[in-house]
Amino acid sequence: MAPQESRGGSIARRVYDVGDADVVFVPFFATMSAEMQLGVGKGVFRRKVVGNEDYMRQKQVVDLVRSSEAWKRSGGRDHVFVLTDPVAMWHVRSEIAPAVLLVVDFGGWYRLDSKASDGNSSDMVQHTQVSLLKDVIVPYTHLLPRLHLSENLNRSTLLYFKGAKHRHRGGLVREKLWDLLANEPSVVMEEGFPNATGREQSIKGMRSSEFCLHPAGDTPTSCRLFDAILSLCIPVIVSDNIELPFEGMVDYSDFSVFAAVSDSLQPNWLVEHLKSFSKAQKDMFRHNMARVQPMFEYENGYPGGIGPIPSDGAVNYIWRKVHQKLPVIKEAIIRDKRKPKDVTIPLRCHCT
């Protein structure tokens, strides 16, 4: 929406004829819609009823988009939806499965709903719906301000974590790690909540620590990882199923420590492993982190966000990732055109 004359390094360009478009962006704020419904009527959130306004909005969007010539032309494969919450567009996921989905991870898609009683529940989202082949992992919005390398001070704590101790599913590892690490003299483990006090404590804790622990929560990742990067606190990622934004464009091993869950749950293993890194290695991690910090920032400094975007910022990198999907999208569209009438080609999206 920035004026064309002020646009600079963005790879994306808006066109007004769908015939000129490589992809069709669907500007529906699915996460906001879900949050609005959860705020006024959580009890009906998972039900397809009139009182669920989020469901009604989802249905309106899908009916509108799927009736368009653009969708019919591609089967929806060249459409882009933003689904940055595990419950966004919950009721219509199967209907938009062919599209490019911008998601923060796949944890909310692969998981079995906690209330389900068996593996055949309709709440299980099939692996054919999300894939690294067609979808794009995007960063959470960081909550803490950026610390520049020139502002970095001495760090007195070895490892820091602030967050909820008790989680579900894969997040159960967090509770075990907490019990192992809580009494270590060089480690700080704090219960925390997303309020103003918690934010100030997190800023102080991350900026005074060498390493910041990133265990899986209810899903494999969280905004904590990006807060650590913006705080120049070396991420320690203990999440075996994590998917990360912009891989292939950035190598996270240049500035992060990856530890297997099985190793990390051994007594004393993680602390001793972190102590083995030299000052030179930690300094290199931080220098590498400082170079990639802009990739995880959405802000462009303009009121309402309407204005030129930084060429090295998150928005441009997301569109660069979408651009990388174009050959696969075009191939899928062409394959679909040549199939005989009434013949269905099974979805083959699963990618490891």
Give percent above pLDDT 90 in the chain: 62
Q: Are 93 and 111 in contact (CB under 8 A)?
A: no
The tokens for 276 are 């083995």
On whether both 237 and 321 belong to a single domain, the answer is no
On whether both 134 and 185 belong to a single domain, the answer is no
Tell me: the pLDDT tens digits for 242-296? 999 999 999 999 999 999 999 999 999 999 999 999 999 999 999 999 999 999 9
- Local confidence band at 28 (pLDDT 50, 70, 90 cut-offs): very high
pLDDT at 121: 45
Residue 117 has pLDDT above 50, yes or no: no
Higher confidence at residue 173 or residue 77?
Answer: 77
How would DSSP label each residue in 260-308? -HHHHTSTTHHHHHHHTS-HHHHHHHHHHHHHHGGGG----SSGGG-SP
Residue 170 has pLDDT above 90, yes or no: no
On whether both 60 and 196 belong to a single domain, the answer is no
Residue 122 has pLDDT above 60, yes or no: no
Tell me: the pLDDT tens digits for 271-281? 999 999 999 99
Mean pLDDT of the chain, nearest integer: 88
Is there a domain that residue 307 lies in? Answer: no
Is there a domain that residue 347 lies in? Answer: no
pLDDT at 161: 95
On whether both 223 and 334 belong to a single domain, the answer is no
Mean pLDDT, range 302-317, rounded to an integer:
88
On whether both 162 and 32 belong to a single domain, the answer is no
- Local confidence band at 350 (pLDDT 50, 70, 90 cut-offs): very low
pLDDT at 130: 83
On whether both 153 and 290 belong to a single domain, the answer is yes
Short-list 141, 127, 135, 12, CA closest to 79: 135
Alpha-carbon distance 25 to 64, whole Å? 14
On whether both 238 and 162 belong to a single domain, the answer is yes
On whether both 135 and 155 belong to a single domain, the answer is no
pLDDT at 194: 67
Is there a domain that residue 277 lies in? Answer: yes
> What's the total number of domains in the chain?
2
Alpha-carbon distance 287 to 255, whole Å? 8
On whether both 71 and 169 belong to a single domain, the answer is no
Rg of the chain taking only CA atoms, in angstroms: 22
On whether both 160 and 283 belong to a single domain, the answer is yes
Is there a domain that residue 303 lies in? Answer: no
Tell me: the pLDDT tens digits for 192-240? 776 778 899 999 999 999 999 999 877 788 899 999 999 999 999 998 8
Is there a domain that residue 273 lies in? Answer: yes
Is there a domain that residue 350 lies in? Answer: no
On whether both 181 and 285 belong to a single domain, the answer is yes
Is there a domain that residue 46 lies in? Answer: yes
Is there a domain that residue 185 lies in? Answer: yes
Residue 116 has pLDDT above 50, yes or no: no
